[in-house]
Every structure is written in C-alpha cells, then in structure tokens.
C-alpha cells in the first residue's frame, strides 16, 4: 500500500499541531504533515492526498463569533484558488472515501458547527448541537476520567476496555443539543463514545469537577454513525507517553499514554483499508 499519511491543519489560532503530528508518527503513520489552512485554499495541499485529517485545539479566530464558528463558515463556503471547488467539497469527498477525521477541543467544536458531528444521515449537514460555556463560567484546565462506550463502532476507541485518563483545557466545552430527539438519536446510536466518569470508569457523572463543564449526559466525545469521524474535548495528543502523566514520578505507569490508542487505531485502520 501507499504510505499512511496524516494531515494536521494549522493557522488562525490553532495550537497543539506539533503534539498531534508527533502522536500520529508515534501511532504508526508514515507521514504527518502540518499545513496552514491557506495552503488548502491556495490548492498547494489537497485533502485527497491524505488518509487522516486532524483538527486540533486552540482558539480559532479568537473564538470571537463563538468557538470555531468563523472557521466553520470558512471551510463550508470558501473556494479554493481558481474558484472551481469549495473546500467543503474536498472534505465531503474525503469523508465519502472512507477516510478518518479527528477533531480535538477546538477541532471538536469545528466539526459540530459544520454539522459533521453527530452528522446524522440525510440531515443535509445541519448543525444540531454545539459546545458552549462551561457551567463554572471559567476556563478549566485539569485531568478527567472518560468512560468508553464499548458498544460504539468508533474506529478510534477500538480495544479500549474501560476508559481513558486525559487532560482538558477549555472554556467552551459544554456539549448541548437542539432537543430531545437529537439526544435520543445520539444515545440510541451509541454515538456518545466517551463520557466524563468516576475514577473507576463505572458510570457517567454530572458532578464537578469530574464533569468539568456540565455537558448533557456527561458527553465528552461523540462519533459519526460511520465511526470514522470523532470529536472530543479532552486532548489525546497531550498524553502519549508516561512522562506526560501528572503522577508519572509517583506511579508505575505503562510506557504508552492513554491517548496514543486513538492514533494507533487510526494508523491501523488506514494501513488495513487503503
């Protein structure tokens, strides 16, 4: 097969792109390229040439219109140089080809506001959810326990038996939906992949600070119905090695951090299916 290639988009206020690229390489990708959004708009970089798209954290456009809203509009309506194709058409083709998309923190907000998550079939990519201000009214920077939904068909969390321990750092991480019908479809479809939980990963919790933002049904991450698009507020790229754990000097930890499994599963999927 051809080399497994990951693309990490940067620019307009993103961050963590170096960490995401490192996580992709550590997970098994042959290439992890960091590209500015302007490279896509100019046509210098095309999504068609990659297998895995990373939308990282940060503060896109200063979150001035709400987290990631300006970038959502840019990706949906901007045309590539020459005006022959909307960038969103490339993104839709990328998805239709069975490739992978991971949105972390600001990237999760971006996917939701573009209508790609939860991305129900036949809804015209309409936005039916959002991520809004934490119940605390403050930016939260802490580590959280995430219970995995083992009934989910999400590519990224395959093999995770109980849960993950990852850091969060956000001011707008509260996941909410437009009504009970949307929430029921998410829950019945097992699209709520990760939920904030107790330390034993036994049950979801609304208790602060275990649930740092007040997300409905304690939802921390969701996937599309295909399982190939995932968004989550915690940062998997920030824990790929034991020394990134806050207690690494005091506990006997495995070499791999909990977040690495998402990137390793992505690389395995690409290498087996392309």
Closest CA to 235 of 258, 216, 256, 218: 258
CA 19 to chain centre: 14
What is the pLDDT averaged over residues 100-126? 91
Of the listed ranges 115-119, 123-127, 202-206, the least confidently predicted one is: 123-127
Look up 22 and say whether it is catalytic: no
Pick the more confident residue, 71 or 209. Answer: 209
Q: Among residues 17, 19, 172, 237, which one is catalytic?
A: 237
pLDDT for 8-29, tens place per residue? 999 999 999 999 999 999 999 9
Confidence of residue 77 (pLDDT cuts 50, 70, 90): confident
pLDDT at 86 over 90: no
What's this model's pTM, rounded to 2 decimal places?
0.96
Cα 35 from Cα 183, distance rounded (Å): 35
Q: Among residues 24, 105, 170, 245, which one is catalytic?
A: 105
With residues binned 3-state (H G I as helix, E B as strand, rest as coil), the percentages for the chain, rounded to 5, are: 30, 25, 45
CB contact at 8 A, 23 and 263: yes
Look up 89 and say whether it is catalytic: no
CA 94 to chain centre: 16
Domain that holds residue 264: 5-273
Cα 184 from Cα 202, distance rounded (Å): 21
Look up 105 and say whether it is catalytic: yes
Q: Among residues 51, 170, 235, 245, which one is catalytic?
A: 235
Pick the more confident residue, 120 or 56. Answer: 56
The count of domains in the chain is 1
pLDDT for 152-185, tens place per residue? 999 999 999 999 999 999 999 999 999 999 999 9
What is the pLDDT averaged over residues 56-63? 87
**pLDDT for res 101:** 98
**CATH code at position 151:** 3.40.50.880
């Amino acid at each position: 097969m051809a080399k497994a290639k990951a693309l990490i988009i940067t620019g307009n206020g993103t961050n963590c792109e170096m960490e995401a690229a490192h996580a992709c390489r550590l997970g098994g990708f042959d290439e992890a390229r960091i590209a500015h959004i302007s490279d896509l708009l100019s046509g210098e970089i095309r999504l068609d040439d990659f297998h895995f798209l990373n939308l990282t954290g940060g503060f896109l456009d200063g979150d001035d219109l709400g987290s990631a809203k300006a970038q959502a509009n840019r990706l949906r309506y901007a045309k590539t140089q020459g005006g022959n194709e909307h960038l969103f058409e490339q993104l839709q083709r990328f998805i239709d080809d069975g490739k992978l998309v991971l949105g972390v923190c600001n990237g999760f907000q971006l996917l939701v506001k573009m209508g790609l998550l939860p991305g129900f079939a036949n809804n015209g990519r309409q936005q039916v959810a959002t991520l809004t201000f934490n119940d605390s009214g403050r930016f939260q920077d802490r580590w959280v326990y995430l219970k995995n939904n083992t009934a989910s068909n999400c590519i990224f969390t395959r093999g995770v038996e109980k849960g993950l321990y990852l850091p969060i750092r956000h001011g707008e991480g509260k996941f909410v939906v437009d009504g009970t019908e949307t929430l029921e479809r998410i829950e019945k479809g097992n699209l709520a992949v990760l939920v904030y939980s107790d330390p034993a990963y036994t049950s979801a919790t609304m208790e602060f600070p275990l649930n740092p933002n007040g997300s409905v049904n304690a939802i921390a991450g969701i996937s599309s119905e295909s399982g190939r698009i995932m968004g989550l507020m915690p940062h998997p790229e920030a824990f790929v090695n034991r020394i990134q754990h806050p207690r690494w000097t005091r506990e006997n930890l495995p070499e791999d951090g909990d977040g690495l499994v998402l990137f390793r599963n992505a690389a395995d999927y690409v290498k087996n299916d392309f």
